[in-house]
Amino acid sequence: MRLLHTMLRVGDLDRSIAFYTEVLGMRLLRRQDYPEGRFTLAFVGYGEESTQTVIELTHNWDTAAYDLGNGFGHIAVEVADAAAACDAVRAKGGKVTREAGPMKHGTTVIAFVEDPDGYKIEFIQKSH
């Protein structure tokens, strides 16, 4: 078994694809409209779905926004330098919600940013 994807419901698909591809550097792997169901699925990731876990962005055509609720935590992305990753997100208009620094009660360097729908993405700095 292997983890295939995480699904996020998004209000504006093009805006979300732009964030994940232009700000976080993922690639749009595939996108398909389902007119009968009035939704579109787009898959983004750093590698091919056959070998990597990806994110499924689901856009229901008749829903402009969602309540995030309190059950979902975050998506984690490994980065070489968390501070530099935050700077890059900020330079592209993204929102940094926690600057890079050691995690509480630990030494791992982490940071948090938000996508356009408010989903949290954690940057975890790779240990050298």
Q: Catalytic residue positions?
A: 122
Kindly provide the residue ranges of all beta strands, DSSP E only, lying in 1-128, ordered along the sequence: 5-9, 27-34, 39-45, 54-60, 75-79, 95-102, 109-114, 120-125
Residue among 90, 101, 82 at smallest CA distance from 23: 90
DSSP code of residue 97: E
